[in-house]
Chains A and B, each alone.
Chain A
Amino acid sequence: MTNTLLRLAWVFMKIGTFSFGGGIAIIPLVQTEVVTKYGWLTDSQFVDAITLGQITPGPVVVSATFIGHQVAGIPGAIVATISVILPSLVMICLATRAVRRFKENKTLAGFFRGARIAVVGLIFQAAMGIGSSSILNFKTALIAGISMICLLRYDVNPIWILLGAGAIGLAV
Chain B
Amino acid sequence: MSDKSREALRLFARVYAARGLGKEHEFAETENQSPFSDWKTFLKIGCFGFGGPMAVFSLLENELVRKRKILTQKDFLEGAVLGDVLPGPVTMDIVSYTGYRLREWKGAFIATCVFILPSFILMIFLSYLYIDMNLTPRLEYVLKCLGAAVTGLIVSVGMRLGEKEIKDYFGVCIFLWAFASSLLFKLDILLIVGMAGLAGILLHTGRRGGFPTQSEGT
**A residues neighboring B (CB under 8 Å):** 16-23, 26, 48, 51-62, 65-66, 69-70, 74, 77, 81, 84-85, 87-89, 91-93, 95-97, 99, 103-104, 106-107, 109-131, 133-136, 139-141, 143-148, 150-152, 157-159, 161-166, 168-170, 172
Contacts and interface: CB of A to CB of B under 8 A. Distances in A.
A119 B51 contact: no
B80 to A, nearest CB: 5
Contacts, number: 374
B13 interface: no
Interface string B96-135: 1100110011001100100110111011101100110000
Contacts of A84: 89
A93 B100 CA distance: 6
Contacts of A152: 156, 159
Nearest to A113: B200
Name which of A112, A158, A170 has the most chain B CB atoms within 10 A of its CB: A158
Contact of A65 (B123, B149, B194): B123
B149 A164 contact: yes
B183 interface: yes
Given A54-B143, A115-B193, A126-B52, A22 B152 contact: no
Interface of B: 44, 46-59, 62, 74, 77-93, 96-97, 100-101, 104-105, 108-109, 112, 115-116, 118-120, 122-124, 126-127, 130-131, 136-137, 139, 141-159, 161-162, 165-166, 171, 174-179, 182-183, 188-190, 192-205, 211, 213-214
